[in-house]
Amino acid sequence: MRLSRLILAVCGTAALAAASGVFVVALSLALYAALEPTLGAAGAAAAVAVACLLILASAGLVLLLIATRRPRRAAAAEGGDLGAELLELARRRPVLALFGAAAATAIGLSALRNPRIVSGLVSVVLGLRRPL
């Protein structure tokens, strides 16, 4: 039973990653289409490349901060409040909290634009139907 839930969680994560990739490509195309009339084709392509570079640099910085973090001084209490833990994480790692908030906002906006994708991902993760 546990193995099937693990497989479903991995498949759901992969589907979410693929949907995120499609969202990033669509957002890049929209940015290019918005900037192309004013900057021209080359300028719009350069602006999209700079935007992608900034996103990758911020993600790399977050991963670097996570990899070089100091060990905890005090052990966390088991079964703590999730909200309190998230607030403590935001106090300790503000860059990570900002990145998480941006990711949650992007996911929320994409869910508002196309709720069918979100319902499909939730049903795959919960095992309500088998993926095709």
Instruction: Place 87 in a pLDDT band, splitting at 50, 70 and 90.
Output: confident
Q: How far apart are CA 93 and CA 85, in angstroms?
A: 12
DSSP 68: T
0.85 exceeded by the pTM?
no
- Write 105-113 long-range contacts (CB < 8 A, 24+): 106/20, 106/23, 107/20, 110/19, 110/23
Higher pLDDT, 81 or 25: 25
Q: pLDDT tens, 49-77?
A: 888 888 878 877 887 887 787 766 555 55
